Protein backbone atom coordinates (compact mmCIF):
# COMPACT_ATOMS: atom_id res chain seq x y z
CA UNK A 1 0.00 0.00 0.00
CA UNK A 2 1.29 3.41 -0.93
CA UNK A 3 1.43 6.55 1.15
CA UNK A 4 2.38 9.02 -1.56
CA UNK A 5 0.30 12.10 -2.20
CA UNK A 6 -1.43 14.61 0.01
CA UNK A 7 -3.89 13.52 2.65
CA UNK A 8 -7.35 14.82 1.81
CA UNK A 9 -10.07 15.08 4.41
CA UNK A 10 -13.79 15.74 4.35
CA UNK A 11 -14.57 19.26 3.08
CA UNK A 12 -17.27 21.32 4.77
CA UNK A 13 -20.68 21.17 3.12
CA UNK A 14 -24.33 21.88 3.87
CA UNK A 15 -25.99 18.70 5.13
CA UNK A 16 -29.04 17.32 3.35
CA UNK A 17 -32.27 16.50 5.21
CA UNK A 18 -31.31 12.88 5.94
CA UNK A 19 -27.87 13.86 7.23
CA UNK A 20 -29.36 16.63 9.35
CA UNK A 21 -31.91 14.24 10.88
CA UNK A 22 -29.19 11.72 11.78
CA UNK A 23 -27.06 14.46 13.26
CA UNK A 24 -29.92 15.73 15.43
CA UNK A 25 -30.62 12.24 16.80
CA UNK A 26 -27.01 11.53 17.71
CA UNK A 27 -26.47 15.04 19.06
CA UNK A 28 -29.25 14.31 21.57
CA UNK A 29 -27.69 10.99 22.49
CA UNK A 30 -24.04 12.06 22.53
CA UNK A 31 -23.42 12.72 26.24
CA UNK A 32 -25.32 9.60 27.31
CA UNK A 33 -23.50 7.57 24.66
CA UNK A 34 -20.13 8.87 25.86
CA UNK A 35 -20.91 7.81 29.44
CA UNK A 36 -22.07 4.28 28.51
CA UNK A 37 -19.63 1.47 29.38
CA UNK A 38 -18.40 -0.95 26.73
CA UNK A 39 -20.60 -4.05 27.05
CA UNK A 40 -17.90 -6.59 26.12
CA UNK A 41 -14.58 -5.10 27.13
CA UNK A 42 -12.66 -8.29 26.31
CA UNK A 43 -14.11 -8.45 22.81
CA UNK A 44 -13.40 -4.76 22.27
CA UNK A 45 -9.77 -5.14 23.31
CA UNK A 46 -9.40 -8.09 20.92
CA UNK A 47 -10.77 -5.94 18.10
CA UNK A 48 -8.35 -3.13 18.94
CA UNK A 49 -5.39 -5.52 18.99
CA UNK A 50 -6.39 -7.11 15.70
CA UNK A 51 -6.83 -3.69 14.07
CA UNK A 52 -3.45 -2.50 15.30
CA UNK A 53 -1.86 -5.60 13.78
CA UNK A 54 -3.32 -4.72 10.38
CA UNK A 55 -2.02 -1.15 10.37
CA UNK A 56 1.43 0.37 10.23
CA UNK A 57 3.15 3.66 11.07
CA UNK A 58 3.20 4.63 7.38
CA UNK A 59 -0.57 4.28 6.93
CA UNK A 60 -3.09 7.05 6.39
CA UNK A 61 -6.29 5.93 8.08
CA UNK A 62 -9.88 7.13 7.89
CA UNK A 63 -12.49 6.13 10.48
CA UNK A 64 -16.17 6.63 9.62
CA UNK A 65 -18.79 6.73 12.37
CA UNK A 66 -16.21 7.32 15.11
CA UNK A 67 -18.77 8.41 17.73
CA UNK A 68 -17.03 10.12 20.63
CA UNK A 69 -13.61 8.96 19.49
CA UNK A 70 -13.00 6.04 21.85
CA UNK A 71 -11.51 3.72 19.23
CA UNK A 72 -9.45 6.37 17.46
CA UNK A 73 -7.97 7.50 20.76
CA UNK A 74 -7.41 3.92 21.95
CA UNK A 75 -5.60 2.74 18.82
CA UNK A 76 -2.73 5.15 19.37
CA UNK A 77 0.45 5.48 17.39
CA UNK A 78 2.60 3.90 16.00
CA UNK A 79 -0.12 1.86 14.25
CA UNK A 80 -0.84 4.76 11.89
CA UNK A 81 0.90 7.74 10.39
CA UNK A 82 -2.22 9.88 10.16
CA UNK A 83 -5.76 9.19 11.38
CA UNK A 84 -8.82 11.23 10.47
CA UNK A 85 -11.87 10.13 12.47
CA UNK A 86 -15.31 11.33 11.36
CA UNK A 87 -18.89 11.26 12.56
CA UNK A 88 -22.17 12.76 11.38
CA UNK A 89 -22.87 14.28 14.82
CA UNK A 90 -21.19 17.61 15.67
CA UNK A 91 -21.81 16.93 19.36
CA UNK A 92 -20.10 13.53 19.15
CA UNK A 93 -17.12 15.19 17.46
CA UNK A 94 -17.09 17.95 20.09
CA UNK A 95 -16.78 15.30 22.82
CA UNK A 96 -14.04 13.50 20.88
CA UNK A 97 -12.12 16.76 20.54
CA UNK A 98 -12.50 17.37 24.29
CA UNK A 99 -10.91 13.97 24.94
CA UNK A 100 -8.13 14.71 22.46
CA UNK A 101 -7.42 18.07 24.06
CA UNK A 102 -7.12 16.37 27.45
CA UNK A 103 -4.66 13.78 26.09
CA UNK A 104 -3.17 15.12 22.83
CA UNK A 105 -2.06 12.67 20.17
CA UNK A 106 -0.06 13.82 17.15
CA UNK A 107 -1.52 13.15 13.73
CA UNK A 108 -5.05 12.41 14.98
CA UNK A 109 -7.93 14.71 14.12
CA UNK A 110 -11.71 14.59 14.34
CA UNK A 111 -14.05 15.96 11.68
CA UNK A 112 -17.80 16.12 11.11
CA UNK A 113 -18.76 14.04 8.05
CA UNK A 114 -21.55 11.67 7.06
CA UNK A 115 -20.58 8.08 6.22
CA UNK A 116 -23.32 8.16 3.55
CA UNK A 117 -21.79 11.12 1.71
CA UNK A 118 -18.98 10.71 -0.87
CA UNK A 119 -16.77 13.38 0.71
CA UNK A 120 -13.56 11.53 1.51
CA UNK A 121 -11.66 11.97 -1.73
CA UNK A 122 -10.25 9.46 -4.20
CA UNK A 123 -7.51 6.99 -3.22
CA UNK A 124 -6.45 9.03 -0.19
CA UNK A 125 -6.25 6.36 2.53
CA UNK A 126 -4.47 3.08 3.16
CA UNK A 127 -7.22 1.87 5.50
CA UNK A 128 -10.82 2.77 6.28
CA UNK A 129 -12.29 1.72 9.65
CA UNK A 130 -16.04 1.28 10.14
CA UNK A 131 -16.98 0.06 13.61
CA UNK A 132 -20.64 -0.21 14.64
CA UNK A 133 -21.81 2.11 11.88
CA UNK A 134 -22.74 0.19 8.71
CA UNK A 135 -26.19 -0.73 10.07
CA UNK A 136 -26.80 2.99 10.65
CA UNK A 137 -26.14 4.31 7.16
CA UNK A 138 -29.04 5.18 4.86
CA UNK A 139 -27.68 3.25 1.87
CA UNK A 140 -25.20 0.43 2.51
CA UNK A 141 -24.02 0.20 -1.09
CA UNK A 142 -23.46 3.94 -1.34
CA UNK A 143 -21.50 4.01 1.91
CA UNK A 144 -19.31 1.09 0.83
CA UNK A 145 -18.72 2.67 -2.57
CA UNK A 146 -17.62 5.90 -0.89
CA UNK A 147 -15.26 3.99 1.40
CA UNK A 148 -13.81 1.98 -1.49
CA UNK A 149 -13.15 5.12 -3.51
CA UNK A 150 -11.32 6.64 -0.55
CA UNK A 151 -8.93 3.67 -0.44
CA UNK A 152 -5.76 3.26 -2.46
CA UNK A 153 -5.62 0.04 -4.52
CA UNK A 154 -4.90 -2.77 -2.09
CA UNK A 155 -6.10 -0.67 0.84
CA UNK A 156 -8.00 -2.32 3.68
CA UNK A 157 -11.60 -1.82 4.76
CA UNK A 158 -11.87 -2.99 8.38
CA UNK A 159 -15.32 -3.26 9.93
CA UNK A 160 -17.25 -4.69 12.85
CA UNK A 161 -20.98 -4.44 12.31
CA UNK A 162 -24.13 -5.54 14.18
CA UNK A 163 -25.99 -7.88 11.82
CA UNK A 164 -29.44 -7.42 13.30
CA UNK A 165 -31.19 -10.06 11.20
CA UNK A 166 -28.95 -12.68 12.82
CA UNK A 167 -30.33 -11.71 16.23
CA UNK A 168 -33.62 -12.71 17.81
CA UNK A 169 -36.27 -11.58 15.25
CA UNK A 170 -38.18 -9.81 18.03
CA UNK A 171 -35.30 -7.36 18.40
CA UNK A 172 -35.12 -6.36 14.73
CA UNK A 173 -38.82 -6.43 13.88
CA UNK A 174 -40.57 -5.55 17.16
CA UNK A 175 -38.28 -3.89 19.71
CA UNK A 176 -36.46 -1.56 17.32
CA UNK A 177 -39.64 -0.21 15.64
CA UNK A 178 -41.15 0.49 19.06
CA UNK A 179 -37.97 2.27 20.19
CA UNK A 180 -38.00 4.33 16.99
CA UNK A 181 -41.62 5.30 17.64
CA UNK A 182 -40.52 6.84 20.93
CA UNK A 183 -37.36 8.36 19.41
CA UNK A 184 -35.12 6.04 21.40
CA UNK A 185 -33.48 4.46 18.35
CA UNK A 186 -32.35 5.76 14.95
CA UNK A 187 -33.30 4.24 11.59
CA UNK A 188 -31.33 1.02 11.15
CA UNK A 189 -30.62 -1.47 8.39
CA UNK A 190 -31.42 -5.09 9.24
CA UNK A 191 -29.23 -7.59 7.39
CA UNK A 192 -27.43 -10.87 7.97
CA UNK A 193 -23.67 -11.33 8.03
CA UNK A 194 -23.93 -13.10 4.67
CA UNK A 195 -25.78 -10.07 3.25
CA UNK A 196 -23.02 -7.76 4.46
CA UNK A 197 -20.31 -9.92 2.91
CA UNK A 198 -22.21 -9.94 -0.39
CA UNK A 199 -22.48 -6.13 -0.27
CA UNK A 200 -18.74 -5.78 0.32
CA UNK A 201 -17.97 -8.05 -2.61
CA UNK A 202 -20.30 -6.37 -5.10
CA UNK A 203 -18.80 -3.00 -4.18
CA UNK A 204 -15.29 -3.98 -5.18
CA UNK A 205 -13.96 -5.18 -1.82
CA UNK A 206 -12.39 -8.63 -1.57
CA UNK A 207 -12.98 -10.29 1.80
CA UNK A 208 -9.75 -11.58 3.32
CA UNK A 209 -10.85 -12.40 6.90
CA UNK A 210 -14.05 -12.87 8.89
CA UNK A 211 -13.57 -13.19 12.64
CA UNK A 212 -15.63 -13.17 15.81
CA UNK A 213 -14.21 -11.38 18.82
CA UNK A 214 -17.00 -11.60 21.41
CA UNK A 215 -15.94 -12.99 24.78
CA UNK A 216 -19.48 -13.52 26.04
CA UNK A 217 -22.87 -14.33 24.52
CA UNK A 218 -23.66 -14.98 20.87
CA UNK A 219 -21.51 -12.96 18.50
CA UNK A 220 -23.62 -11.27 15.82
CA UNK A 221 -21.05 -8.55 15.06
CA UNK A 222 -18.49 -10.06 12.68
CA UNK A 223 -15.10 -8.42 12.34
CA UNK A 224 -14.43 -8.32 8.59
CA UNK A 225 -11.27 -7.35 6.77
CA UNK A 226 -11.66 -6.60 3.07
CA UNK A 227 -9.21 -5.36 0.45
CA UNK A 228 -9.82 -2.93 -2.36
CA UNK A 229 -9.09 -4.71 -5.57
CA UNK A 230 -6.52 -3.02 -7.78
CA UNK A 231 -6.18 -2.85 -11.57
CA UNK A 232 -4.22 -6.11 -11.61
CA UNK A 233 -7.12 -7.93 -9.95
CA UNK A 234 -9.41 -7.41 -12.93
Highest mean pLDDT among 45-54, 110-119, 159-168, 178-187: 45-54
**pLDDT value at position 175?**
65
Q: For 11-26, how does the pLDDT look when each residue is reduced to its tens digit (9 = 90+)?
A: 445 567 788 989 999 9
Is 181 part of a structural domain of the chain? no
**What digits encode the pLDDT tens for the residues 175-213?**
666 666 666 668 889 999 999 999 999 999 999 999 999
| Mean pLDDT of the region 143-151 | 96
Q: What's the CATH number where 48 sits? A: 3.40.50.150
For residue 34, being part of any structural domain is answered with yes
Note whether residue 130 is domain-resident. yes
Q: What rounded mean pLDDT belongs to the chain? A: 89
- Determine the average pLDDT of the residues in 161-184: 74
CA distance linking residue 83 with residue 59, whole number of Å: 8
Cα distance between residue 121 and residue 149, in whole Å: 7
Per-residue pLDDT, 59? 97
- The reply to whether the predicted model has a pTM over 0.75 is yes
- Residues contacting residue 225 through CB under 8 Å, at least 6 positions apart: 54, 156, 157, 158, 207, 208, 209, 210, 211
What is the pLDDT, as a whole number, of residue 230? 74
Query: DSSP for 56-125?
Result: -TT-EEEEES-TTSHHHHHH-TTS-SEEEEEES-HHHHHHHHHHHHHS--TTEEEEE--TTS--S-SS-E
Percent of the chain with pLDDT over 70: 85
pLDDT at residue 204, as a whole number: 96
Q: Looking at the predicted structure, is the pLDDT value of residue 149 above 70?
A: yes
Counted domains in the chain: 1
Residue 140 lies in a domain: yes
Domain assignment present for 177: no
Is position 78 within any domain?
yes
Identify the pLDDT of residue 101. Answer: 98
pLDDT of 87 reads 97
First to last CA, the chain: 18
- The pLDDT score that the predictor gives to residue 168 is 76
Judge contact between 91 and 121, C-beta under 8 A. Answer: no
In a domain, 180, yes or no: no
60-64 vs 82-87, strand pairing mode: parallel
pLDDT score recorded for residue 227: 98
Domain contains 178 = no
Q: What angle do CA 86, 16, 184 make, to 5 degrees?
A: 70
pLDDT at 12: 47
Domain containing 146 equals 17-163+190-233
Amino acid sequence: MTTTGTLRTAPPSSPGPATAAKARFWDRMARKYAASPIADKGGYEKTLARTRALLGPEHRVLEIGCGTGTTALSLGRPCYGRLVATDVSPEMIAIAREKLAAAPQPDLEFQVADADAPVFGEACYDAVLAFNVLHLVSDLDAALTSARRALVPGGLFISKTPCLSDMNPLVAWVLLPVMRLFRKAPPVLCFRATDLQAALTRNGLEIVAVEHHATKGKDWRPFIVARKRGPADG
